[in-house]
Amino acid sequence: MEPIVTIASGAVRGRTDAGVTRFLGVPFAAAPVGARRFQLPAPAPAWDGVREATAMGGTCAQSPYPAPIHALIGSDGIPGDEYLNANVWTPDPGASGLPVLVWIHGGAFVRGSNARAIYDGTAFARDGVVLVSINYRLGISGFAVLEGAPLNRGLHDQIFALRWVRDNIAAFGGDPDNVTVFGESAGGMSVAALIAAPQSTGLFRRAIMQSGNGAVAADADDARKVSAALAAELGIAPTAADFGRLGPDELRAAQNAVALAVMTDPDPRRWGASVVEQGMGIMSLFPVIDDDIVPGAPTAVLAANPDRAVPLIAGTTADEFRFFTVPTGITAAVTTDTLPFVLTRYGIDPAVAQTYSAQRPDAGPAEIFNAILTDWCFRAGTVDFAEANAAGAPTHVYEFAWPTDLPGLGACHVLEVPFVFDALAGAHALTGPHPPQALADEIHAAWVRFATDGDPGWAAFDSENKRVRIFDTPESSTVVNPRSAELDALRQTIA
């Protein structure tokens, strides 16, 4: 069956299989190429006739992941200028009032797309939810601070996409007044920024922040140092006009070179303290404070404006940082002798390792390193954001603790995503060949319930009762303030 729906820009034809209808690669904004590459998003041009929407659309130009990470999750790279597009899965485009989930992908703000198999929205539509996944500008195109260009273009794309959802989702059976935005990693950080942004008010009712951090926002002057390095790499001025004359391959090469320089030489005097600290040693291009949609770090903005809080799920995996260090061989280089040096590189007082070692007497130095960095990059910033949000709206916190079958990775970054989407069949390179379907059933159902009525099924989190849902096998549980001694010690000893 090939259903047709009509949205603001024209008619689109999707495809129905097994009771789920997909509309893929639908542009929500004009192609950001040529003069538009570094400008605010604009409406997609209208088209005549019926536009086919049965194949994934283009993705923002990007480099593949390094080979060890690529082996786990693959890379993205579908050519096409109209990469500001959305995919929609619906149980019935003729229905009305269905809850809506809008997915924002991760990728450190320089990689990723809405076309991944583990983001397939079939299971959500099967269970009565309209699932929308969006693309946005990445890397230099989305986040470089350039003269003659607005800041945070990638976040502007996300807000523009949410407005598109508000104006068009009824055509797919969705309720524009019952939208939940959710994302993972850079997508989770984007969710935090969107909650804090005044321009997002009313565009979504609820939010889910997976493996994010509410403290991520660079100072614009610091971010200009990264842009200056990019321009120097290319032999041009750091202006939208000069960058706009270059092709994607040239931009990618410069972006990769500067990202490597930031990671290998994280000197605050060279890059600015906020780039080094908020980039967590992983990111060099990410949202910046602009006195507009990013008035400050999201947690601080939310604490000062509790009226911006929305019902929220926020959480992390238990072993986030192993994703970055085990496949790449970094973990193997961490020894008792080198541990103090690598912690200092991240601006962390090595004394904190004593607390983690006391709490984990059987753990070696590499395990201690990964536990500290998991908390520093993800868990601390998630708990802080949850506390700020809980002052204004119901908040639920989780930890995904089931470890993958792959050696050394544990419950690493990204691992919960195929469970949330109930898309395990396409994730065995990350999960191993026998992931527990019952756990996917549980966490996916919780997300469906939350999108439907705001109750994921476990007790809420607040500053007094810091309840956390631990998703694991053979059964999940709700605990109060897990590993609080470690988190407290980390906060006290960050240099």
Instruction: Select which of 105, 413, 442, 476 is catalytic.
Output: 413
Tokens 């949410």 belong to which residue?
162
The answer to whether the CB of 121 falls within 8 A of the CB of 21 is no
Q: Which two tokens stand for residue 285?
A: 């291009």
* ω into 474 cis (within 30 of 0): yes
Q: Which of 320, 365, 360 is nearest to 341 (CA)?
A: 365
For tokens 């194949």, name the residue.
55
Short-list 58, 207, 22, CA closest to 138: 58
Is residue 481 left, alpha or beta, with left meaning phi > 0 and alpha meaning psi from -120 to 50?
A: left
Distances (CA, A) of 5 to 12, 19, 215, 222: 6, 16, 40, 46
Neighbouring residues of 326: CB distance < 8 A, sequence distance ≥ 6? 370, 408, 409, 412
Amino acid at site 27: P
Q: Which of 174, 231, 181, 234 is nearest to 204 (CA)?
A: 181
Is 444 among the residues known to form the active site?
Answer: no
Which tokens belong to 181?
A: 């935005």
Q: Could you tell me the two tokens for 371? A: 């536990």
Given the residues 9, 133, 141, 185, select the one marked as catalytic. 185
Q: What is the residue-wise DSSP string for 387-420?
A: HHHHTTS-EEEEEE-PPPSSTTT-S-TTTTHHHH
Give the integer Cα–Cα distance in Å for 100 and 91. Answer: 11
Residues 373, 73, 276, 352, Cα dihedral to 10°: 0
Active site residue 320: yes
3-class state of residue 478 by DSSP: strand
Which phi-psi region, left, alpha or beta, contains residue 80 (left: φ > 0; alpha: ψ -120 to 50)? left
Which alpha helices (DSSP H) does 235-351 contain, by range?
Answer: 240-244, 248-264, 268-271, 273-278, 298-304, 322-325, 339-345
Instruction: Choose the catalytic residue: 184, 277, 320, 486.
Output: 320
Element holding 226 (H helix, E strand): helix 220-234
- Residues that are catalytic: 185, 320, 413
